[in-house]
Amino acid sequence: MKQWLKLIAIALLFYVHIAGLVFDVPRLNILNETIRALYFHVPMWFGMVLLFSISVFYAVKYLRNPSSALDRKVVEYANVGLVFGVLGILTGMLWANYTWGSPWHGDPKQNGAAIALLVYLAYFVLRGSLENEEQRARLSAVYNIFAFAAMIPLIFIIPRMQSSMHPGSGGNPGFNMYDLDSSMRFIFYPAVVGWFLIGLWIVSIRIRIKTVEEKTFELEDGKNP
């Protein structure tokens, strides 16, 4: 990852954390100050979806032209995407505790998100259950595509078809429909970009570590036939 992108990621998140906690926010009914969670909860989910999208892109590339380098990318983008998803659920539970009265309200979007993360957890269980490297990479790449296809309706489609208290779901308006002064957008959009760049940065570090580990193992294996 380019050095200037790392600097942008740090600067954006520094700005988001300061502005998100200090700047004024719209005084909306029930939400009040808790609306600041929007700068953390939603961008983490956006980051998760983008990272999973890149993971499934490399999964398709791997199936067309298998290589260990592509397999590493598939795994690490899914890995970091899953971490973003867990953080998204935790920040959402914290937000729900203050606005809905309990961390887990059984909201369709909460349930769908939890199921989607369980589907991706099964992806890593699958990888851990296979010893043959080529078979593991190929089967997990196929499953990765299935997991992504399952995630989209679980998070974006099914909750909109049911009664949900989430903004933009079940007939509820989204933030952009009643946040008329748009003051939050100057923090929200940088937050989305910043969290995504941090995700890419973490992925690049993990890929480098795995590459070094693999080459070290190959060298040691060559010395000890």
Average pLDDT of the chain, as a whole number: 87
pLDDT of 18 higher than 50:
yes
Residue 223 pLDDT > 50:
yes
| Tokens 């700047």, residue located | 23
Listed in sequence order, the residues at least 6 apart from 45 whose beta carbon sits closer than 8 Å to its beta carbon are 84, 85, 88, 113, 155
Least confident of 12-21, 42-51, 94-103: 94-103
pLDDT band at residue 180, thresholds of 50, 70 and 90? Answer: very low
> What average pLDDT score do residues 188-210 get?
95
Q: CB–CB of 57/18 below 8 Å? A: no
Query: pLDDT confidence of 80, banded at 50, 70, 90?
Result: very high
State what percent of residues in the chain have pLDDT above 70: 89
pLDDT for residue 179: 46
